[in-house]
Structure 1
Amino acid sequence: MQDASDGNDVTEGLDPQAMSTWLKDLGIGIEPPLTFAKVGLGQSNLTYLATDAKGERLVLRRPPLGELLASAHDVAREHRILSALQGGDVPLPVVHGLCEDPAVTDVPVLVVSFVDGAVLDERADAEMLSPDARHRVGFSLVETLGHIHQVDLEEVGLTDLASHKPYGARQLRRWSRQWDLSKTHELPELERLTERLRALDPGPGEIALVHGDSHLRNVIIDPRAATVRAILDWELCTLGDPLADLGTLLAYWPQPGDPPSMRFDASMVAGFATRSELVEHYASVTGRDVSAVPFWHALGLWKLAIILEGVRRRQQDDPRNLTAVGAIPASAVDEIVVCGHRVVDGG
């Protein structure tokens, strides 16, 4: 899993003593005392690694600190989704529980198993893989998306997880509202990209389980086999067009020749599959028509810009939400919007 953050307060957001008692009482063999550390570079829900006296490890997730937008960072909903998918084809951590006891925590805390493996947070992580492994990992992630999109919603009890109305229009409405609520600066080019996407919306499509945040930093891989051991961070999971997940993956998958941006750059290391190869592999393993992928790719970039702006807002409102990578600059949001226009233009 990810290394511990070097922040000054590794337990901020948790009551270690109360949480230790609650975890022990789960009956899963946890032996006090426990130590806690923030992990990862995530800018959304906060993630902690709990280690007991025997060296057994658990992972805890809670919403970020400070005031939150309505419906955002819902780890109780994430608990429902992960619980429903246990034992299926989607690679996941084991769900151990959801703490909503006000004597233990002020917000819900999700508890899952620790999954050993590699997380490609940075270029240096990717460079540790062989070139062949780098090429395979993107294909394994695409195959994982295929498993998610094949989930029988009725069988796992998730048919009511979200609306079944056309997904593109839903996403454009929802994230436009998020932008209005969280923006820290005016950005006419984002507004123009919004209008271009509305015009390109392919309309009603297939309804499937959609992860909503599918990228390299949200999977744990077997570093030798370069296969996905677990896909994480399900807070944006919903029902909608499965091509949206592929679009998100492409939005977080920069490659040589792209305009400069603050996107995760592990995929810039030599050996990784190109975005075109990922699309071709998805079409091959799922049999789906991928002609609308450019819309979903551009929508993914548009959403990423809005998500980054939301991170900036939370960091400005409450500096406790700063992580090891520091504050997100306004230019990072602007650069992602440029990338979105380029995709719409056919670049």
Structure 2
Amino acid sequence: MTGAGGCRAALTWLDEPTVEALRAALRLVAPGLADGTIVPRGLEPNDDPQWCAASAVVDDRFVVKFAWAEPPAQRICHQVRLLDSLRAAAPRLPLPVVVATSRDPAMLVTQRAAATPFFDVRHLITTPDRQAVADDLAAVLVALHDADVLTSVSEATGPLPEPMAHASTGTLRARFGALIRPDQRDRVSAWCDRADQALAAPGRTVLVHGDFHGDNHLWDRELLRLRLVVDWETAGTGEPEFDLRCLPGDCGTELFTATVAAYERMSGTTLDMDRIMAWHLRTVLGDALWRAEAGVALPDRRTPAHWVDDLADRFTALKTFG
């Protein structure tokens, strides 16, 4: 199956967020899928052009990413270029199998893997499983963060973006206090000060996934082995610690610390725990902030104040950010 629109084609996107528009685009990009059963995910109008994108599963065998505005269309094309260069630069990485790509309209079609998001298997991980899971997480990140990978990908794709956490500490100081208990406000402010100190000096520059959370690494449910890393649209240059920022919450502190130890053993480099937790703070509270201000429920249906309590427990367990 081949894609429509080469690398020199003009960039376009769908006219509207409908299954009918997607089906018409598939007739151009992947005709063999156009008449298949389409199950969309996230296909709904959005006032912000940044988020006018969605995906769909076709015939339970393929995943299609598409957009109906320019910013996400650009991200799709970035992901296409990145996957192509990564396949050569880091062949050990478990990347999606690309079936078709296009700029006109922007689209990426990949094979759907028989694998499960980490969020849906983490409750199955027992103490005897922990080291193998940590090794799988670390191995993927070590392979991605290799200096030669960044050099190779940059040469192939040109300048890369720099992913950032959801919110700056300045934004959190100014707006997060209204969402939490009065007794938590000084603590959050002190955490922001500590995060600023931790990130004051630049870190080592590597290629980062940019959004390495539990929906974006997929696992064999029976064997508890990592099978696939998906959603590379925000990949770019950053520091290794940035890519580990979701793990303290996603994995729990014991699996997280085991992953850090495995990463350091495999890479021969040292990770800065304070830097990881500084990015973790900005990511967790930034996520809670935008959801609360947009009227979107937090994923676990709790409150920002609960998330602050969770952070306090993690900082205590990890003996950081006292």
Q: Give the TM-score of the pair, scaled to structure 2.
A: 0.70
Q: Does 1:97 align with 2:138?
A: no
Aligned-residue Cα RMSD (Å) equals 4.0
- Which blocks of at least 5 consecutive residues in structure 2 are unaligned? 1-15, 43-50
Structure 1 counterpart of 2:303:
329
Q: Secondary structure at the match of 1:185?
A: helix
Alpha-carbon distance change, 158 to 76 in structure 1, aligned in 2, over 3 angstroms: closer
Q: Give the TM-score of the pair, scaled to structure 1.
A: 0.66
Alpha-carbon distance change, 29 to 50 in structure 1, aligned in 2, over 3 angstroms: same
C-alpha separation in 2, matches of 1:213 and 1:58: 22
Q: How far does residue 239 in structure 1 lie from its aligned partner after superposition?
A: 0.9
Can you list the C-alpha shifts for 1:137-176, whole angstroms capped at 9, x where unaligned? 232011101111125223223562136xxxxxx9589634
C-alpha separation in 2, matches of 1:338 and 1:45: 35
Q: Note the 1:95-174 alignment, pairs <5 A.
A: 95=98, 96-98=100-102, 101=105, 110-122=108-120, 125-128=121-124, 132-133=128-129, 135-150=131-146, 152-156=149-153, 157-158=156-157, 160-162=159-161
C-alpha separation in 2, matches of 1:130 and 1:190: 33
Q: Secondary structure at the match of 1:214?
A: coil
Q: Secondary structure at the match of 1:115?
A: coil
Work out whether residues 210 and 245 of structure 1, in 8 Å CA contact, stay in contact via their aligned partners in 2. yes
Structure 1 counterpart of 2:58:
51
Can you list the C-alpha shifts for 1:276-323, whole angstroms capped at 9, x where unaligned? 322211111111023x22331242133222123223333x2xx6xx69
Work out whether residues 65 and 107 of structure 2, in 8 Å CA contact, stay in contact via their aligned partners in 1. yes
Q: How far does residue 100 in structure 1 lie from its aligned partner after superposition?
A: 5.9
Q: How far does residue 47 in structure 1 lie from its aligned partner after superposition?
A: 5.2
Of Structure 1 and Structure 2, the greater helix share is in 2
C-alpha separation in 2, matches of 1:192 and 1:111: 45
Alpha-carbon distance change, 333 to 62 in structure 1, aligned in 2, over 3 angstroms: farther
Structure 2 counterpart of 1:7:
none
Structure 2 counterpart of 1:262:
none
Structure 2 counterpart of 1:86:
87
Q: How far does residue 78 in structure 1 lie from its aligned partner after superposition?
A: 3.5
Q: Does 1:300 align with 2:280?
A: yes
Q: Does 1:288 align with 2:286?
A: no
Which amino acid in the other structure matches residue 161 of structure 2? A
C-alpha separation in 2, matches of 1:59 and 1:178: 36
C-alpha separation in 1, matches of 2:202 and 2:220: 37
Q: How far does residue 131 in structure 1 lie from its aligned partner after superposition?
A: 5.9
Work out whether residues 210 and 241 of structure 1, in 8 Å CA contact, stay in contact via their aligned partners in 2. yes
Q: Secondary structure at the match of 1:228?
A: strand
Which amino acid in the other structure matches residue 308 of structure 2? D
Structure 1 counterpart of 2:259:
278
- Which blocks of at least 5 consecutive residues in structure 1 are unaligned? 1-12, 102-107, 164-169, 256-272
Alpha-carbon distance change, 344 to 216 in structure 1, aligned in 2, over 3 angstroms: same
C-alpha separation in 2, matches of 1:180 and 1:224: 44
Which amino acid in the other structure matches residue 285 of structure 2? A
Work out whether residues 191 and 321 of structure 2, in 8 Å CA contact, stay in contact via their aligned partners in 1. no
Work out whether residues 206 and 242 of structure 1, in 8 Å CA contact, stay in contact via their aligned partners in 2. yes
Work out whether residues 169 and 282 of structure 2, in 8 Å CA contact, stay in contact via their aligned partners in 1. no
Q: How far does residue 130 in structure 1 lie from its aligned partner after superposition?
A: 6.9
Q: How far does residue 235 in structure 1 lie from its aligned partner after superposition?
A: 4.1
Q: Note the 1:231-246 alignment, pairs <5 A.
A: 231-246=229-244
